[in-house]
Structure 1
Amino acid sequence: MRFEVNISILFKEHPFAERFAAAKDAGFSAVEFWWPSGENLGEIEAAIESSGVEVALFNFDAGDMAAGDRGLAGDPERYERFLENVPAALELAEKIGCRKLNALVGHELPGRREEQLELAAQNVRYAAGEAEKRGIGLTVEAVNTFENGAFLLHTTAQGMEFVRRVGRENVGFQYDVYHMQRMEGNLIANLRANIAGISHVQIADSPDRREPGTGEINFARVLAELEAAGYKGHVGLEYNPTGEDTLASLDWIPGASRSGDADLNSLGL
């Protein structure tokens, strides 16, 4: 099992371009991030190269996340912004060697759910076709509605059905343990039932989205189940650190398990 850190939510003690090196200094060989709105992409490319970290995944443009946006692909009024971002995101992915991008489909509008799902599928299908030409895969994820509003996909079943609707071999489901615990629980049963379609995993503890060990999820069991099921992808740490101290929030994962294959028995869970 390989852990990596989402530097859009961790290492906020540093300017964004410096977080790649901070993650490396903390012992991680890989990172992920949300679409870096407002950042200089050339500076990001340089920061990634100088730090030597792998980028396991990043998001397509999801709109103004700070203002509450959670994706554009299913938005009838703004989906063109998603389409415009596709070539830019794929170009960045190629330059930094990232082989996986995540697409957020956005919020449901009253009375327009089916229309939006079809629109989102059409747009993700287009992005997948462009990504396939470059040997890049895509993921879509389900997100909890408690903190994120009426997100179109908010259960494992909905996410997996959407992947089937898109119908492209290079599109998989991103299983976010935190979001799915908030929405439906039954983590191990759902992982067992859907592992073949899961291409990326993210974790945070519930209900406060803090580091593992601070909430109700039995991560020792969940991670052991992932490993037993043969999951070979990265596990992204996507949580808000307790006390806003990233390094302190990593005490549960010893340095030797932060880079390469982790020894689950060594984790403080």
Structure 2
Amino acid sequence: MKLAANLTMLFTEFDFLDRFEKAAQAGFAGVEFLFPYAYPAAQIAERLDTHRLQLVLHNLPAGDWAGGERGIACHPGRRGEFEQGVASAIAYAQALGVKQLNCLAGIVPQGVERARAHDVLVANLAFAARRLKDEGIALLVEPINTFDIPGFFLHGTRQALDLIAETGSDNLFLQYDIYHMQRMEGELAATMAANLPLIRHVQVADNPGRNEPGTGEINYRYLFDRLDRMGYTGWIGCEYKPRTTTYDGLDWLAQHGVPSTH
């Protein structure tokens, strides 16, 4: 099992650039985070090299995050901004050795019909998937629950699979976040088994609370075993909010049979 520490949510008691060292000290071989764009790529690359970490995932630029935007891929009138973001993401991915990027669909803008948002999203995903394929990078798309982010356009597995099919791209895949999909639809193991060829990245957190595995209703020991038996070979991103501190909560790893080097 390959676990990646999500540095946007873990080790937040430390400055961002210090979290790479903390993740390595905790036994993680990989890391992920929302965005790299606030830092020079060379600065992040130095942390990765020093601590022998692989950066397994980050997102395309997602608009005004501090202002509440959660992606612009479904926003009419911002195609140019989206395309510029794809170029920026590719530049960072190449500098940091990242082989997959996630696209956040976004919240449907007020006054925009869903059909229009859908058409814009399909066009943007097709564009991004094509550009990333040229660079040997996979594009992922992630359904997110609408309890945490009301109005988020993409909120279910079937919807994501239909979008992938509609683009006609062979370079667009599913990022399956177990926490989000438990909240929206359940049927976790069956859904992952049925769609494993299209699942390139899995993320974990428990429900309720979005805390570490073992703190809620999701049977992660069962799901980890099922993923192994399914033959899933991708990374599992630890995108949860520690109940207290990251280090205090890491005993979930041993409790779920995860090796000390993960």
2:93 is paired with a residue of what secondary structure?
A: helix
| 8 A Cα contact 1:210 1:242, kept in partner | yes
Tell me what 2:125 maps to: 124
CA deviations 1:25-74 (Å, max 9, x no partner) are 11111011111353343322222222220011111111233432211111
CA deviations 1:74-98 (Å, max 9, x no partner) are 1114343221111111111111111
Tell me what 1:177 maps to: 178
| 8 A Cα contact 2:44 2:96, kept in partner | no
Counterparts of 1:9 and 1:77, CA distance in 2: 32
Residue identity in the other structure for 1:257: P
Tell me what 1:203 maps to: 204
Structure 1 segments unaligned to the other structure (5+ residues): 261-269
Tell me what 2:3 maps to: 3
Counterparts of 1:165 and 1:173, CA distance in 2: 14
Residue identity in the other structure for 1:169: D
Tell me what 2:85 maps to: 85
1:252 is paired with a residue of what secondary structure?
A: helix
Superposed displacement of residue 258, structure 1: 5.0
| 8 A Cα contact 1:172 1:198, kept in partner | yes
Tell me what 2:232 maps to: 231
Counterparts of 2:212 and 2:67, CA distance in 1: 24
Out of 93-102 and 223-232, give the one that drifted further: 223-232
Tell me what 1:35 maps to: 35
Out of 96-105 and 79-88, give the one that drifted further: 79-88
Distance 1:249 1:82, change over 3 A: farther
| 8 A Cα contact 1:2 1:258, kept in partner | no
Out of 119-128 and 196-205, give the one that drifted further: 119-128
CA deviations 1:150-198 (Å, max 9, x no partner) are 1111111111111112221121000000000011111112112222211
Out of 70-79 and 1-10, give the one that drifted further: 70-79
Counterparts of 2:63 and 2:37, CA distance in 1: 8
| 8 A Cα contact 2:42 2:95, kept in partner | no
Tell me what 1:99 maps to: 99
Counterparts of 1:259 and 1:114, CA distance in 2: 46
Residue identity in the other structure for 1:6: N
Tell me what 1:267 maps to: none
Tell me what 1:257 maps to: 259
Counterparts of 1:214 and 1:16, CA distance in 2: 26
The TM-score normalised by the length of structure 1 is 0.91
CA deviations 1:230-262 (Å, max 9, x no partner) are 11100000000002x0111111114972535xx
Is 1:193 the equivalent of 2:168?
A: no
Tell me what 1:266 maps to: none
Out of 168-177 and 121-130, give the one that drifted further: 121-130
Tell me what 1:163 maps to: 164
Out of 202-211 and 66-75, give the one that drifted further: 66-75
Q: How large is the Cα RMSD of the aligned pairs?
A: 1.7
The TM-score normalised by the length of structure 2 is 0.93
| 8 A Cα contact 1:205 1:215, kept in partner | yes
Is 1:222 the equivalent of 2:229?
A: no
Out of 42-51 and 245-254, give the one that drifted further: 42-51
Residue identity in the other structure for 1:84: Q
Tell me what 1:137 maps to: 138
| 8 A Cα contact 2:32 2:57, kept in partner | yes
Out of 73-82 and 173-182, give the one that drifted further: 73-82
Counterparts of 2:260 and 2:203, CA distance in 1: 15
Taking every aligned residue pair, what percent have the same amino acid on both sides? 39
Counterparts of 2:50 and 2:82, CA distance in 1: 29
Residue identity in the other structure for 1:95: A
Is 1:65 the equivalent of 2:73?
A: no
Out of 56-65 and 23-32, give the one that drifted further: 56-65
